[in-house]
Structure 1
Amino acid sequence: MCHSKTPISLAILAVLAAIVYASSSGGGGPYTYDISTQSGLTALYNSPVYLAEKMTRPLGTSSVKVGWISHSGVRVTLGDGSQWLVHKGNDFGISSQTVVVNARHMGNNWKVVERKNFFGTKKVNDFVRASGAGYQWIFNNCHIGANRMMRQ
């Protein structure tokens, strides 16, 4: 089915996209690290994932989330019980806009919207790869990255 795009609907889309971009682009430096050694990063990225939970939260200081006017990521649980959030945003990382952070940094406004048991068949690196290194506020944002992670 094909829909024509009126100037009003394009304007609304542009405003919503600008809100999502502005609200989700606050991840930039200075960068802090949960793991600072190459061996620690390699071990984390090669760790099997047993449970993945797609999570959403309101943008910025807002207490309301409405569809794409929110932020998404995937919290993974490893065999040792540790939990890590894999998510992306503009200027979140240095070489990739998809980052992995310890889930202890998550506020209480994150909510689980989907769960999937991977039984250790995927590794943290598979989730990072599925989300993608780049970020574009319409075509490759946090929601699209989170959906790709859950579909693998």
Structure 2
Amino acid sequence: MWSIRMLVSALALTLLAVSVGSWSDGNLSGAELTRLYNSPVYLAERMKRPLGSNSFQIGPISHSGVRVTLRDGSKWLIHKGQNYGISSQTVVTKANQMSSDWRVVRTGNFQGRKTVGDFVATGGSNYDFLFDNCHWASIRMMNQ
């Protein structure tokens, strides 16, 4: 079990290196990447938006993810989709790049008990349209 967790952590760390920008200039160094991955999450918000260019959302005809807030107040969107990442389909992006179409569905106070890395690992590395999509991943992240 420990080796699987280490593998998932290594994959998530690689994913973060590819998919997020730093607090400063958009390029994460090893130390910044590690800091983000290990950052405690204080607030998590499950969010939804219309799928693609649709102006409406109905159940699964939408996209969902989890916006997390860290101790320093920075916000990051953790979400999943087919071909979103290289080593994992769950990716992390700066929340300030989110459109105004996103709406909060559920809020959770994690009080620093989980890290960004925990959310990425819980989101999962594989994507399946029916059984492991953005909706299932965001539900798992909020329920961890």
Shorter-chain TM-score above 0.5: yes
Deviation digits for residues 79-121 of structure 1 (CA, Å, limit 9, x no counterpart) = 0000000001001011111001000110000000000000111
Which segments of 5 or more consecutive residues in structure 1 lack a partner in the other structure? 1-30
Indicate the SS of the match to 1:99: strand
1:33 is displaced (CA, Å) by 4.3
Deviation digits for residues 31-75 of structure 1 (CA, Å, limit 9, x no counterpart) = 764133222111101000000000000001111000000000000
Q: Does 1:74 align with 2:61?
A: no
Q: Does 1:144 align with 2:136?
A: yes
Q: Percent identity?
A: 56
Q: Read off the aligned partner of 1:101 and give its amino acid letter.
A: T
Q: 2: CA distance between counterparts of 1:32 and 1:134?
A: 16
Task: Tell me which structure has the larger Cα radius of gyration.
Answer: 1
In the other structure, the counterpart of 1:109 is 101
- Check the 8 A contact 2:19/2:92 in 1, yes or no: no
- Check the 8 A contact 2:20/2:94 in 1, yes or no: no
Aligned residues: 122
Scaled by the length of structure 1, the TM-score of the pair is 0.78
| Structure 1 runs (4+) greater than 6 angstroms displaced | none
Q: Read off the aligned partner of 1:93 and give its amino acid letter.
A: G
Q: Read off the aligned partner of 2:21 and give its amino acid letter.
A: D
Q: 2: CA distance between counterparts of 1:63 and 1:117?
A: 30
In the other structure, the counterpart of 1:34 is 21
Q: Read off the aligned partner of 1:96 and give its amino acid letter.
A: S
Scaled by the length of structure 2, the TM-score of the pair is 0.82
CA RMSD of aligned residues (A): 1.2
Q: Read off the aligned partner of 2:92 and give its amino acid letter.
A: V
Where in structure 2 are the equivalents of 1:30-69 lying within 5 Å? Answer: 33-35=20-22, 36-69=28-61
